Amino acid sequence: MDSTMQHTPLLISSLLRFGTTVFAEQKVITWTGEGARELTYAEVGQRAAQLAHALRKLGIDGDQRVGTFMWNNAEHLITYLAVPSMGAVLHALNIRLFPPQIVYVATHADDRIVIVDNTLAKPFSGLLAHLPGVQHVIVNGSIDDETRAALEAPEHVVAVHDWDALLEGEPTAYDWPEDLDENSASSMCYTSGTTGNPKGVAYSHRSNYLHAVTAALALGAKQGDRLLVVVPLFHANAWGFPYLAMAVGASLIMPDRFLQAAPLAAMIEREKVTFGAGVPTIWNDLLSYLETNPADLSTCRGLVVGGAAAPPAMMKAFQEEHGITIIHAWGMTEMSPIGTVAIPPTTVEPGSDEYWRYAAAQGRLVVGVEGRLVGPDDSIAPWDGESVGELEVRGPWITRSYYANGRESDVDRMEMESKFHDGWLRTGDVGTLSEDAFLVLTDRAKDVIKSGGEWISSVDLENAIMAHPDVREASVVGVPDDRWGERPLASVVLRAGSPTTVEDVREWLAGRLPKWMLPERWAVIDEVPKTSVGKFDKKVLRKRYAEGELEVQTLA
């Protein structure tokens, strides 16, 4: 029997039209350091049209890639909406990658135009000599003569444009194409390249649309919310926030380059933020700041954490001291990215041990995402909360392959292919699934510490150490051991002025963990090294240890 339903393609332009008309009064608010500047969604729609007209005149007439090298601000949101809506492909460049990696991804994606914030224009100019495919650079904001000269150096052969001047006089309406294939690419992100070269994921209009609607449902975003988007728009599809805001009619608070605890506290208080999104290091810094700098955060009901696991101690402190619920969400760039959200079942008593077990998990699989646990022999482990395996996932917003242009090395090609198994994405995460679909990750497959006949979860050990009140951060890696093959090395950041020593921390742990899990090797460091997206960079700690750069204490 044939369906009687209409078929309209799921396009970014549909979200753009809906959000900027139905919720025309909602706003995007960009922090300036001295206050904020505002645009209504109606104005966002008009400027998106102007940008599309301008890009057409610069030669964007198909699915060419338009890159961004920007902070979170109104102009970045406008680009997020306009570029895919006109049929081109948005490529948000990760500004925190090493320069060779930025050059690699911009070249691999074949970026033709790059929109750059003025505060990033000088460092970007140093990359242009290595980006012969870039034909135009659009600068958002004023730049000095020295920066302009660096961008316009003769060897670059690029045209440099001012954002405001480029858009001025362009029509404020655009006939967004409705005949685009919903399965065609709308945007792309690259992984952070922790192994090999960064790998590109090309999201479709359909996948972004479905992900945005599901993410809004799973996170509880709603009309009138004021969402503080600290997660960079260049990281993992911005967790879907630019698009879900259009779908539900929530205003967006954009921090631009002001990502320190003091301005974030001011944003929450002044802009009456109701919900936020960012990596745990951001919220941990905010929590520490609030200890000596009180702020009114009473409007904020929750902060979602992704990119890395949030320490349970931090989660409890926010809830008990500030009435803010920290919500775990887990996913990957390859998953658009949300796959699970940790909202405890309503049958669980808030504040109980069972409640915190659910809240500290990675979360329940969201509708649309299927998961399975695969053992080392390819057997499928049951959902019983105990059986461990590598998580594999599939669903309508999960990639089935990485973007390839035919110029990849054999090593990169083999690594890209190894990530897929019978139509499922291999996540590289090891953990369990409960009967009610709650995921608990015990480690990355490459980070599990194999000590004698036991496996030690570096994540569990880190969380246990960071529960100590005088430990700000802790990272655990496995290091060679003559007797056990591998043992944990704990690198900790102690609170400033604290008399606590690593001996004190280990003694404190002794009453909470089995003896065989307790690290013998400890190092006190100023800061845990982090990747470009805020995750603990364990490969740096392993290298420092191997090269004798860490001052390690061995405790009996």
Helix/strand/coil for 214 = helix
Is 222 among the residues known to form the active site?
no
Is 520 among the residues known to form the active site?
no
Helix/strand/coil for 246 = helix
Q: Which of 75, 182, 334, 392 is catalytic?
A: 334
Q: Which of 20, 191, 427, 531 is catalytic?
A: 191
Give the DSSP H/E element, type plus range, for residue 380: strand 380-381
Kind of pairing between the strands at 111-117 and 136-140: parallel
Is 119 among the residues known to form the active site?
no
**124 burial type by CB count under 10 A (0-12 exposed, 13-18 middle, 19+ buried):** buried
The residues of the chain scoring below 50 in pLDDT are none
Q: Which of 32, 57, 455, 527 is catalytic?
A: 455
DSSP state of 168: T
Rounded Cα–Cα distance for residues 465 and 314 (Å): 12
Q: What pLDDT is stored for residue 195 in this prediction?
A: 53
Residue 519: other Cβ atoms inside 10 A: 26
Q: Which of 222, 446, 450, 543 is catalytic?
A: 450
Q: What pLDDT is stored for residue 343 in this prediction?
A: 97
Is 191 among the residues known to form the active site?
yes
Q: What pLDDT is stored for residue 531 in this prediction?
A: 81
Q: What pLDDT is stored for residue 338 in this prediction?
A: 97
Q: What pLDDT is stored for residue 509 in this prediction?
A: 93
Q: What pLDDT is stored for residue 113 in this prediction?
A: 98
Q: What is the pLDDT of residues 126-162, one digit of tens each?
A: 999 999 999 999 999 999 999 999 999 888 889 999 9
Q: What pLDDT is stored for residue 13 in this prediction?
A: 98
Cα atoms in the 13 Å half-sphere on the side-chain side of 121: 25
Which tokens belong to 226? 């004021």
